[in-house]
Structure 1
Amino acid sequence: MLQSKQSEAFLAVIESGSFEAAAQVLNITAAAVSLRVQALEKHLGHALVIRERPCRTTQTGQMLLQHLQHSRLLQQGFLQDLNHQTHSQDFYKIRIGTNADSLATWLLSSVQDCLVHERIVLELRLADQTQTHHLLETGLVNACISTSAKAMAGCQVLLLGKMRYLLVASPNFIEKYFKYELNRNSFLSAPAVIFNHDDLMHQELLFQHYGLQLKQYPHHFIPSSNAFLDWIKAGLGYGLVPSIQMQDDLLQGGLVELSAEFAMDVPLYWHHWNQQSLPLKRLMQQLVPNAAKALAI
């Protein structure tokens, strides 16, 4: 049986990054935090913390961290359920991991009615769509939107649909950089717009077609879906944009697809723990079919 004070000390050290910061969180001395973590390590028979700056977990410590964070999320859900039954006027909080493009396009419209009718408030955590399932795995969210098709242990997964990305630019940008043809040399000189360092789609596309590495061509990092699109519309670069996000721009000629061969369909999946609250079930019942309709565009 894990002792709560020892577990709290371990969580505080890892989540705050040091024994001193954990001491401030727990309102005890750093020496007391260290003694509790040492007692937990002795009890389990494994080292749990790599004492660096910031502190990191060992492999066993990572397993314990995921267990404790998941347990904390379950406990928070239980207390919410209990409180919701006795105080029906209260709102129910659900934590969801999502990628920025889903948030900027279809997510809000897919759940807004449910949020109002079921009195739900959301705490959204942003990550690249290839990384959001780690938020669920570590117990930081109740559910997530991910490109991973494989359900983790204790979880279920449902296909939401495919988000289509098109490589686009403004007419003026095309006139300047791609006037004659699309080839390796033209992409070497044209500035790209990429979301952030975790966004690998653009890099994989140019490597697949032209063998180009990121360091070989100029590029902007714009970590905002709306600003990302504005950057391209302003003629500052070209990039991969969800088709659902720029329908009017394509129809009106403000943006032009460089080539249909660069189109990418990215499948999105909804992951959730086997044990879920009634509000989360109702949210999922509205989100899944609405997402399928939106992503069909």
Structure 2
Amino acid sequence: MANFDYKLLSALTEVIELQSFELAANKLFISQSAISQRIKSLEEYIGQPVLIRSQPIVLTTAGEQLVSHFKKVKQLENELAPVLSPDKPRQPVKVSLAVNADSIATWFIQAITPVLQSHRIELNLMIEHEERTLDKLRTGEAIGAVSVIEKPLKGYRSFRLGKMEYCLVANEAFKDKYFKHGVNKESLKMAPAISYDHKDDMHVRFIAKRFNLAASEYYCHSVRSSEAFVALAKQGVAYCLLPKLQIANELASGELINISPENELIETLYWHSWVLVKGVNKDISQHIVKSAQQKLAS
């Protein structure tokens, strides 16, 4: 196969990122018909579709591989530019990372702060469930990810970060109201819970495994914010599964109570990055791994 026409790969990448042919065309300063033609030309070149024109627009397997390849090439270009043109004002390096909400709420921001202070970086944090962050690497949307999955994708490597310890918590009034006789299958059926959203597998799996209770047997608020979990639990309107690292002060002060110490959850986290990562992105990876290993349980 001959060399790729990177104008075509750029068009595909912009369409999938912006979820719009029109917006992608505007960004590339070409007409909408021109960007449609570029996608068509790419599909004719490789002999198969690269995206599914649905809502939302999604990549095919071939499209995922092409976007991932293009992102890696752009990453290498970003690292090479200051070497080739050291006197030229440097544009911020665009860095997209896929991270779970609990890591954002606990250790992750502190981990990347030194890099943001020392480099010109335009950061895009993609908040996703810890079991699905690798999907962002697979599609090329992110160049690094925090995950509970140890095995890396082809072309990537993983580093063990440490253990995130979780416990079920509520305030004292809530515990007295719903769990006066302990946390069990029957009491959980009556007590309102909180999950990140309807896809929050962690909460559902935990309750199912420890208490043999299906998601359909209890009701659960959906709140897409780890910080809001804490606030709602402190207000006494629900119980939830939270990282001990996030609520150390609340547990120490008694604002929140571990309502079932015998039932706790431990998730091991891993950092995934491209094998050939270097420069700014290598610096990011090193800070993330070092900081997490210091903050998380071993």
TM-score bracket, shorter-length normalisation = 0.7 to 0.9
- Superposed displacement of residue 145, structure 1: 1.5
- Superposed displacement of residue 80, structure 1: 5.8
Over 3 Å counting, the alpha-carbon distance change for 1:51 and 1:158 in structure 2 is: closer
Letter in structure 1 aligned against 2:98: G
| Identity value in percent | 33
- Count of aligned pairs: 296
1:37 corresponds to 2:39: yes
The CA distance in 1 between the partners of 2:38 and 2:120, in whole Å, is 40
Is 1:81–1:277's contact at 8 Å kept on the other side of the alignment?
A: no
1:116-138 CA-partner distances (Å, limit 9, x unpaired): 35566643222122122222233
Matches within 5 A, 1:76-155: 76-79=78-81, 85-86=86-87, 94-117=95-118, 122-155=123-156
Q: Secondary structure at 1:261's aligned position in 2?
A: coil
- Superposed displacement of residue 71, structure 1: 2.9
Matches within 5 A, 1:96-245: 96-117=97-118, 122-245=123-246
Moved more, 124-133 or 19-28: 19-28
Q: Secondary structure at 1:268's aligned position in 2?
A: strand
Gap regions ≥5 residues in structure 1? none
Is 1:18–1:53's contact at 8 Å kept on the other side of the alignment?
A: no
**Normalising by the residue count of structure 1, what TM-score does the alignment of the two structures yield?**
0.87
Over 3 Å counting, the alpha-carbon distance change for 1:62 and 1:164 in structure 2 is: same
Over 3 Å counting, the alpha-carbon distance change for 1:81 and 1:271 in structure 2 is: farther
Is 1:163–1:268's contact at 8 Å kept on the other side of the alignment?
A: yes
The CA distance in 2 between the partners of 1:175 and 1:23, in whole Å, is 59
Is 1:169–1:239's contact at 8 Å kept on the other side of the alignment?
A: yes
- Superposed displacement of residue 201, structure 1: 1.1
Over 3 Å counting, the alpha-carbon distance change for 1:263 and 1:87 in structure 2 is: farther
Q: Cα RMSD between the aligned structures?
A: 2.7
1:264 corresponds to 2:265: yes
The CA distance in 2 between the partners of 1:18 and 1:281, in whole Å, is 32
- Superposed displacement of residue 178, structure 1: 0.6
Letter in structure 1 aligned against 2:247: M
The CA distance in 2 between the partners of 1:271 and 1:90, in whole Å, is 26
The CA distance in 2 between the partners of 1:261 and 1:81, in whole Å, is 56
Over 3 Å counting, the alpha-carbon distance change for 1:284 and 1:2 in structure 2 is: closer
- 2:247 match: 246
Over 3 Å counting, the alpha-carbon distance change for 1:19 and 1:278 in structure 2 is: closer
Letter in structure 2 aligned against 1:64: L
- 1:59 match: 61
Over 3 Å counting, the alpha-carbon distance change for 1:31 and 1:247 in structure 2 is: closer
Moved more, 238-247 or 88-97: 88-97
- Superposed displacement of residue 173, structure 1: 0.3
1:164-186 CA-partner distances (Å, limit 9, x unpaired): 00111111001000111222121
The CA distance in 1 between the partners of 2:241 and 2:14, in whole Å, is 40
- Superposed displacement of residue 53, structure 1: 4.2
Q: Secondary structure at 2:262's aligned position in 1?
A: helix
Moved more, 73-82 or 209-218: 73-82
The CA distance in 2 between the partners of 1:292 and 1:41, in whole Å, is 44
Letter in structure 1 aligned against 2:173: N
Letter in structure 1 aligned against 2:129: D
Q: Which of 67, 71, 74 is the equivalent residue of 2:73? A: 71
The CA distance in 1 between the partners of 2:29 and 2:282, in whole Å, is 38
1:167-209 CA-partner distances (Å, limit 9, x unpaired): 1111100100011122212111100011223321110111113
The CA distance in 1 between the partners of 2:58 and 2:90, in whole Å, is 41
Over 3 Å counting, the alpha-carbon distance change for 1:57 and 1:271 in structure 2 is: closer
Letter in structure 1 aligned against 2:4: L
Letter in structure 2 aligned against 1:74: L
